[in-house]
């Protein structure tokens, strides 16, 4: 019986909710509702504020996927300008030992088009080398020997 009484004493208490701080937070977050009164910002706009925060969370979770897709699309279009297949391009760069990531390739394709053209050429050369390798012995310094 005494133990039960003690557990009631040491229970996990919920945090004390201060109405004043909540209002301050809503005022701060709903500052851009300048066309509404301060009272409405705390009352009506809190629905929009909550929805905005939910959307923000969703966007934060989806952002890496969107970014990845965006970079892939850009790289595809950049590679197609030189008549190279995008998937084959990735494979060939790997066999040539090029460690540039998707973002860096995007940057090169936009700001350094000549460098990017040479990279596509390198990919094509390494693809040819892979076929030749089955028939003849390649010299020591070849594009695909870097790997």
Minimum CB separation of residue 79 from other proteins in Å reads 9
Residues in 78-97 that interact with other proteins by CB under 8 A: 78, 80-81
Q: Which of 30, 92, 109, 124 binds other proteins (CB under 8 A)?
A: 109
What value does the CA radius of gyration of the chain take, rounded to a whole number of Å? Answer: 30
Question: What is d(CA 104, CA 123) in angstroms, rounded to the nearest whole number?
Answer: 16
Tell whether residue 73 is a contact of other proteins (CB under 8 A). yes
Classify 97 in phi/psi space as left (phi over 0), alpha (psi -120 to 50) or beta.
Answer: left
User: Which CB, 73 or 121, lies closer to other proteins?
Assistant: 73
CA 71 → CA 77, 135, 139, distances in Å? 10, 37, 36
Tell whether residue 110 is a contact of other proteins (CB under 8 A). yes
User: Which residue ranges make up the site for other proteins (CB under 8 A)?
Assistant: 73-75, 77-78, 80-81, 106, 109-110
């Amino acid at each position: 019986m005494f133990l039960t009484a003690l557990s009631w004493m040491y229970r996990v208490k919920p945090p004390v909710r201060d109405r004043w701080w909540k209002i301050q937070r809503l005022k701060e977050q709903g500052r851009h509702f300048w066309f509404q009164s301060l009272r409405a910002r705390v009352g009506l706009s809190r629905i929009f504020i909550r929805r905005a925060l939910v959307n923000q969370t969703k966007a934060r979770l989806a952002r890496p996927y969107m970014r990845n897709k965006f970079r892939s699309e850009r790289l595809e279009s950049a590679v197609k300008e030189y008549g190279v297949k995008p998937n084959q391009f990735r494979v060939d760069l790997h066999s040539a030992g090029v460690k540039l990531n998707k973002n860096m390739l995007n940057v090169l394709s936009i700001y350094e088009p000549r460098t990017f053209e040479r990279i596509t050429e390198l990919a094509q050369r390494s693809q040819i080398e892979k076929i030749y390798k089955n028939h003849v012995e390649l010299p020591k310094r070849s594009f695909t020997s870097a790997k």
